[in-house]
Amino acid sequence: MSTLVVLEQRGAKWSRISFEALAAATQIGDPIEAVVIGRDVTGLVEEAAGHPVQKIFVLSDERLAEYTPDAYTISLEQLIKARSPKSVVFPHTYQVRDYAPKLAARFGQVLLSDVVNVKKEDGLVFVRQLFQGKLNAEVKAAGEPAFVSIQSGAFRATEPGGNKVPAEDFPVTIDPAQIRSKPEAPFREGARSVDLSAAELIVAVGRGIKEKENLRIVEELAEVLGAELAASRPICDNGWLPMERQVGSSGQTVTPKVYFAVGISGAIQHLVGMKGSKTVVAINKDENAPIFETADYGVVGDLFEVVPALVQEIRKEKV
């Protein structure tokens, strides 16, 4: 009876969310084994000292040098069959989204994705988010092992510092013919002309603005504040603002003194990009919008009334 935690690393650096997944795993209560995929991970294993892990398996086959869903699935399938864990826990990253459902399906299971809480009732119950955070569902896995991915920020990462964690190479067998995709090198799209990461004040607008023409309202707020304008994904998808103003998991990460979220619901992919802000102000007409959970100050109201009133108020204070 054990829990297997799949730790993610990139470029010989741990992804912090790996240790959030580890923290979730400690709540399951079974002894924890971990696995890391990559070559030259000796340094990483050393850094993992003190984390609540009994052993780290290292998968370093040359066919795992570049990520492909096929090679990752095949290798982890072999490890899981060898160790027979009761639960397999992943951080909910883009990479995990890409292969973990496939891996779970090989065991006749579904990945319980985006889990924010773990409870022990008669068996393990995982709380996952529905409707982009507007609803929670308590779910159980239908069989073993349970495959679970942990939402970013839902658990406080475990801390290092302590005894060394023993590492063990786990050899895998991968037939190159089984790898059906060929990845090229990751790249960034041109130089960004807007760097929101240094902005002290940000006014971010979401779908609540309804039409491109209405953007003027938030632009005015940004102007009187001397703030940068940012947006949630749908605004950029619609082409109303350039992609480089998008905040979130696939956009920029920002940490301003004040972040005004105007007509933004607060989906996790947006939150990860802005929750490091010192003060968050949310303006939303739905009192149950998840963004209020992240906000320091929440205004429940119609942005078409509140934002112009705010502009007036700030102008007034200025003179």
Partner 1 sequence: MKIIVCVKQVPVRDSALRLDSEGKWLDESDLSWEMNEPDAYALEEALQLKEKLGGDVVVLCAGPPRVQTTIREALAKGADRGIHIETEDKERPDALATARRLADVVRADAPDLVLTGLQSDDLGYGQTGVILAELLGFSHATIVMDIEPQGSAVRVKRELEDGWFQHVVLQLPAVLTIQSGIRRLRYATLMGIKKAKTKEVKTVSAATAPGGSETNRVSLPSRTKGSQILSGDARQVAHDLVEKLRFEARVL
Ligand X SMILES: Cc1cc2nc3c(=O)[nH]c(=O)nc-3n(C[C@H](O)[C@H](O)[C@H](O)COP(=O)(O)OP(=O)(O)OC[C@H]3O[C@@H](n4cnc5c(N)ncnc54)[C@H](O)[C@@H]3O)c2cc1C
- Is 294 an interacting residue with respect to partner 1 (CB under 8 A)? yes
Q: In angstroms, what is the minimal distance from the CB of 265 to ligand X?
A: 3
Query: Chain centroid to CA 4: how far?
Result: 20
Considering only 22-30, 137-145, 154-162, 267-275, which stretch makes contact with ligand X by CB under 6 A? 267-275
CB of 287 to ligand X, least distance (A): 9
Pairing of strands 146-150, 87-91: parallel
Per CB under 6 A, 250 contacts ligand X: yes
Nearest to 204 by CA among 232, 184, 225, 177: 232
Q: CA dist 277 to 85, 265, 300, 302, Å?
A: 39, 17, 20, 23
Residues 218-257 that bind partner 1 (CB under 8 A): 225, 233-234, 236-237, 239, 249-253, 257
Q: Which stretch binds ligand X (CB under 6 A): 72-80, 147-155, 179-187, 228-236?
A: 228-236
Q: Does 69 bind ligand X (CB under 6 A)?
A: no
- Which residues 14-43 are close enough to bind partner 1 by CB under 8 A? none
Instruction: Out of 68, 246, 277, 294, point to the residue binding ligand X (CB under 6 A).
Output: 246
- Nearest distance from C-beta of residue 46 to partner 1, angstroms: 25
Q: Is 3 buried (19+), middle (13-18) or exposed (0-12) by CB count in 10 A? A: buried
Q: How many of the chain's residues bind ligand X (CB under 6 A)?
A: 28
Report residue 212: phi and psi, to 5°: -55, -40
* Identity of the residue numbered 28: I
